[in-house]
Amino acid sequence: MKTTDKDQMLEFIDDFPNQVEKARELASKVKLKGLGGTKRLVLCGVNEAGIVSEIFQRTVRDIGITVIKDFFFGKTTNKPLVIINSYSGNSEEMISCLRTASKFKYPVLGITSGGFLMETFEKKKIPYIKLPENLPARTTLTLQFFSLLYVLTNAKIIQDYSKEIQETENLLKTQKFSRDSYIITKSLGGKMPIIYSGWDMKPAAYRFKCQLNENAKQLAFANTFPEAMHNELESFRRPNQKIVVVFARDNSDADTQKYMELFKRLFDKKLSIVDIRTKGRSLMAKIFTFILLTDYVSYYMALMNKVDPSEMELKDSFKKSFSQKKELLGKPEKKYKEVEGTRVGYY
């Protein structure tokens, strides 16, 4: 195990439950003033930051939230607080979103560990949550979510979610995720997972897909019910022994459960189907316990595939090539088209 996991990814996963408390400490260093009347958040982020945004959109219910996983966003009627989230601080998409926020004169809160964005936040005196440096970005998802939650709560921009946080933290620290995950991993081994969930659990299911991609170097896909019943259903006509269907089951989502049971009746004899049931009462607890459980699954899958879960050679190579190409092409002049409530982009 040690020779495969050279950078000790397992230690990062084991530390997952402790990040809720660490997030409190990070949030205590950030003060937002004069934003108590904010009516909308625009959460900008890609990869794990985009997943954080989607979890926020589903679990924070008392304010309007727009999620942006792109270079631009549209102007809104109510002046929003824009969250610019990039662990590295060098994300092209987030640098562009920061420029868009500046163009519209929207207030900004940053989340980063360094890079160009941190330099800009410091220079322009933009408040930001300073994440620990030199970590795999995907291991900071819990830190990002809960530090943002605490900062916005302290600023009275959102209501107090202490009950949901306490339940989530207690479950993360008391449940035996590693043992259960190993059993799930054995049922997935050697097959390509297709993960289905309802709308509420979509960020957790997508996180599982991404962790299988990045940690286990395993091709995987994720979709939601009822959407999948309108298209992908037909692709399961022929038996396929090389895939395994995974259901992210939330028993409180009755409509999605009906779709999953119907799917099972149709294809149980043709496909391998694995159920992963959520734990907890609040949606926050369900999402984060599912994420921790499946983070372990992705880790054990990496060991099964005999790959290093920390190594990201292809992704790093792509980023380097993209950066070099941008330097060769030069910086294009950006022209913006302002359309109420729509994407702001080139025209």
Q: Which pLDDT tens digits describe the chain residue by residue (347 residues)?
A: 445 777 789 999 999 999 999 999 999 999 998 888 899 999 999 999 999 999 999 999 999 999 999 999 999 888 999 999 999 999 999 999 999 999 999 999 999 999 999 999 999 999 999 999 999 999 999 999 999 999 999 999 999 999 999 999 999 999 989 888 999 999 998 899 999 999 999 999 999 999 999 999 999 999 999 999 888 888 888 767 789 999 999 999 999 999 999 999 999 888 899 999 999 999 999 999 999 999 999 999 999 999 999 886 665 555 555 554 444 434 444 443 443 343 333 32
Please state, in angstroms and rounded to a whole number, the distance separating the CA atoms of residues 277 and 283: 13
Q: Structural domain boundaries of the chain?
A: 9-160, 171-304
Query: 34: buried, middle or exposed (CB in 10 Å: 19+, 13-18, 0-12)?
Result: exposed
Question: What HEC string does the chain produce?
Answer: CCCCCCCCHHHHHHCHHHHHHHHHHHHCCCCCCCCCCCCEEEEECCCHHHHHHHHHHHHCCCCEEEEECCCCCCCCCCCCEEEEECCCCCCHHHHHHHHHHHHHCCCEEEEECCHHHHHHHHHHCCCEEECCCCCCHHHHHHHHHHHHHHHHHHCCCCCCCHHHHHHHHHHHHHCCHHHHHHHHHHHHCCCEEEEEECCCCHHHHHHHHHHHHHCCCCCCEEEECCHHHHCHHHHHCCCCCCEEEEEEECCCCHHHHHHHHHHHHHHCCCCEEEEEECCCCCHHHHHHHHHHHHHHHHHHHHHHCCCCCCCCHHHHHHHHHHHHHHHHHCCCCCCCCCCCCCCCCCC
Query: 182: buried, middle or exposed (CB in 10 Å: 19+, 13-18, 0-12)?
Result: middle
Please state, in angstroms and rounded to a whole number, the distance separating the CA atoms of residues 70 and 20: 28
CA distances for 165 relative to 173, 282, 322, angstroms: 12, 9, 39
Same topology between domain 9-160 and domain 171-304:
yes
> With contact defined as beta carbons under 8 Å apart, do 42 and 68 qualify?
yes
Instruction: Kindly indicate whether the domain formed by 9-160 is annotated with CATH number 3.40.50.10490.
Output: yes
> How many other C-beta atoms lie within 10 A of the C-beta of residue 118?
21
Please state, in angstroms and rounded to a whole number, the distance separating the CA atoms of residues 331 and 345: 16
Q: Are strands 64-68 and 81-85 parallel, antiparallel or unpaired?
A: unpaired
Which tokens hold the place of 51?
């997943």
Q: How many CA atoms lie within 13 A of 193 on its CB side?
A: 33
Burial 85-115 (b: 16+ CB within 10 A, else e): bbbbbbbebbbbbbebbeebebebbbbbbbb
Q: Rounded to 5 degrees, what are φ and ψ at 52? A: -55, -45
Confidence at residue 318, expressed as pLDDT on a 0 to 100 scale: 55
What is the separation of C-alpha 67 from the centre of its chain, rounded to a whole number of angstroms? 11
pTM: 0.89
CA distances for 344 relative to 86, 323, 334, angstroms: 20, 23, 11
Q: Which listed CATH number (3.40.50.10490, 3.40.718.10, 2.60.40.10, 3.40.50.1820) goes with 171-304?
A: 3.40.50.10490
Residue in the block written with tokens 């170097």: 217
Please state, in angstroms and rounded to a whole number, the distance separating the CA atoms of residues 237 and 145: 40
> With contact defined as beta carbons under 8 Å apart, do 248 and 203 qualify?
no
